[in-house]
Chains A and B, each alone.
Chain A
Amino acid sequence: MQYKNTYSSRQVKWLNFSELVIQKAMAGLKAEASRGYLGVLWWVIEPLMYMCIFYVVFAHLFRRGDENFILFLLTGLIPWKWFHATVATGASSLMANFGLMNQVYLPKMIFPLTNIAINTFKFLIILTVLIVLLQFTSVKVTWVWVFLPILVLTQLFLITGVTSLLAAIMPFFPDLRVILDNVLMMFLFLSGIFFDITKMPESVQQYLWLNPMATLIVMYRRLLLEGLTPDWLHVFGVFVFSALLLSLSIWLFRRFDRIYPKIIF
C-alpha cells in the first residue's frame, strides 16, 4: 500500500521529531529523579554500587588487585554499563510503549532513541565523575584527552545502531529478549573488562577484537590511563559497523512503522 502523499506530511515532522525525543527524554529523566527519596543521587550511587561489587569480587576474591586494577576495571565498566543498560532496555522499547503507539501516531524510532538519550545523559554524569576521580590518582591528563569525545561519539553511534536494530526486530520475535539477556552477559565477559585483551594469546585475541565494545574499551584505557592516541583504524571499523546496523534499522522502521501496532504479543 502506498501512502506517499497522505501520511508523510502529517503530524510529527523532522524538527518536531528531535524536539519530541528530547522532550520525552527529559520527561523520563525528571520522572526518575522524582522517585524515591534520593532521586537524582541514584544516578551516581547506582553506578558506584555496580562498580564496587565488581571491584570487590574481582580484586579481592579472584586476584590481588593493585591500585591500577581498580582504574583498569572502572574504565572498562563505565562504558560497558552505558552499552548494556541502553541495549537491554532500548531493545524492548516498542513493547513497553505498545499502549501509546496505539493511541497516537508516532514514528516508532522515537522509542529506542528516547531510551538512548536518557541513558547517554546518565553516562555523561558518571563519566564526569570518573574524570574527576582520575585527577586524584597518578594518572596524568594529556592533550590526547581531546580525543575522548570522539570515542564517546563512536560508542554512541554503536549503541544507537545496536539498540535501534534490536528494537526494530524484537516485536516480531519477542523470544529474542531472553536470548539478548544472555548474549549481553556473554559479552560482559568477552569485552576485556576484567582482563587485558592485548595480553591474550594471538589466536584468541583476533576474535576478541571483533567485539566492538572490547575495541572501544581498549581505546578508552589507552587514552585515559596511558595517554595514547586511539588507533583510528579500529575506531573507524566500529563506526562502519555501527553505520550498517543503523541503516538497516532505519529501513526496518520505515517499512514497518504502521505495522508494529498490529502485532499482538
Chain B
Amino acid sequence: MISTVNDAKVLSLANVGLYYSRRQGFLKRSQFWALQDVSFDLFAGETLGVIGKNGVGKSTLLRILAGIITPNTGKMVIHRPGFRISLISLGAGFVPFLNGRENVILSGMMLGATKKEILSKMDAIISFSELDGFFEQPVNTYSTGMRARLGFSVAYHLDPDVILLDEVLGVGDEAFKIKSTAAMKEKIRSEKTVVLVSHNVPLIREICDRLVWIENGKTQAQGDVKEVLDAYLNSVPLGAK
C-alpha cells in the first residue's frame, strides 16, 4: 500500500513504564505496572498498529499518548507540540438527561474545541450520526449503538491531528461498523496520523503502515507489519487465541 509517511516524527517513547496505584488491604497501596518498557516512534501521516495479548497495557498506552496520564519511568517526547491527539471514545461524559445537541457541545468542548467550533460543525455531526429526530431527545433514551454513533461523530468531526483508536471499529451494529470503518479508512488514507489498537489481524494487514507488538508491558517487536505479525502469531500457542 502506498504510504504517505514523511520522516518527521510526531512523538517518541523510550523505555516508558507506568503503574497504577491500588489499595492493597489495610493502609497499604501497591503498584501495578501496566507498562514496563515500551519504546517506539510515531511518524506523521502513518497508521501505526498496536497488537498484543489482552491486558490493560494497550489502553494504558493510548491514554499516555492522549495525555491523560503520565509515565512513571522512561521518556516521552512530543515533537509536534501543537498537535491535537484525541482518543476516539464513544460518548465520553454524556449527561443522560440532556439531549444529543447539548451533549455534542459538551463532548466537543471537552475534546478541546471551542463552543463556536462545535456549533459550526453541528450540522455535519448530526447528519453523520444519522440520529434524525432523536437528536433532540435525552441521550438516556438512546440505544448503545446510537450513543456510539453520536460519540464517534463528534470525535471524528473535530478532526484531531493524531487519532487514537481502541478497537472502536468493532462496536455497534453492522451499519455503524461499516460506516465508521469506511470513515476511519478515509482518514487513514489522508494525512492523518493514526494509532490503532486491534486484535483484528486482517484489518491490521489492510490499513497499517507499521506495527508494534506489546506484551507483558514491553515492546516485543516493531516495524514492518508482516514481520511483526509473523512474530506475534508464532508466539500464540496453537488452538488458543
Once the chains are docked, how many angstroms separate the CA of A105 from the CA of B97? Answer: 23
Residues A19 and B102 in contact, CB atoms below 8 Å apart: no
Q: Assess A102 versus B71: contact at CB under 8 Å? Given A27-B102, A27-B106.
A: no
Residues A30 and B97 in contact, CB atoms below 8 Å apart: yes
Once the chains are docked, how many angstroms separate the CA of A7 from the CA of B66? Answer: 9
Q: Assess A104 versus B81: contact at CB under 8 Å? Given A34-B138, A259-B70, A262-B18.
A: no
Once the chains are docked, how many angstroms separate the CA of A11 from the CA of B158? Answer: 12
Residues A35 and B97 in contact, CB atoms below 8 Å apart: yes
Once the chains are docked, how many angstroms separate the CA of A5 from the CA of B138? Answer: 40
* Range class of the B interface residue count: 35 or more
Once the chains are docked, how many angstroms separate the CA of A18 from the CA of B9? Answer: 33
B66 to chain A: closest residue by CB? A105
Question: Smallest distance from the beta carbon of A153 to chain B beta carbons, Å?
Answer: 27
A8 to chain B: closest residue by CB? B81
Q: Which of A10, A20, A35 is within 8 Å of B110, CB to CB?
A: A20
Which residues of chain A come closer than 8 Å to B96, judged between CB atoms? Answer: 31
Is A23 at the interface (CB under 8 A from chain B)? yes
Q: Which of A11, A30, A31, A100 is within 8 Å of B92, CB to CB?
A: A100
- The stretch among B37-45, B83-91, B175-183, B229-237 that forms the contact with chain A is B83-91
Q: Which of B66, B71, B86, B105 is within 8 Å of A23, CB to CB?
A: B105
Is B203 at the interface (CB under 8 A from chain A)? no
Residues B81 and A31 in contact, CB atoms below 8 Å apart: no
Residues B97 and A262 in contact, CB atoms below 8 Å apart: no
Residues A31 and B109 in contact, CB atoms below 8 Å apart: no
Which residues of chain B come closer than 8 Å to A27, judged between CB atoms? Answer: 95, 98, 102, 106
Once the chains are docked, how many angstroms separate the CA of A10 from the CA of B87? Answer: 14
Is B171 at the interface (CB under 8 A from chain A)? no
Residues B102 and A1 in contact, CB atoms below 8 Å apart: no
Q: Assess A104 versus B70: contact at CB under 8 Å? Given A24-B106, A263-B21.
A: no
Which residues of chain B come closer than 8 Å to A6, judged between CB atoms? Answer: 67, 76-78, 81
Residues A10 and B97 in contact, CB atoms below 8 Å apart: no
Question: Smallest distance from the beta carbon of A94 to chain B beta carbons, Å?
Answer: 14
Which residues of chain B come closer than 8 Å to A30, judged between CB atoms? Answer: 97-98, 102
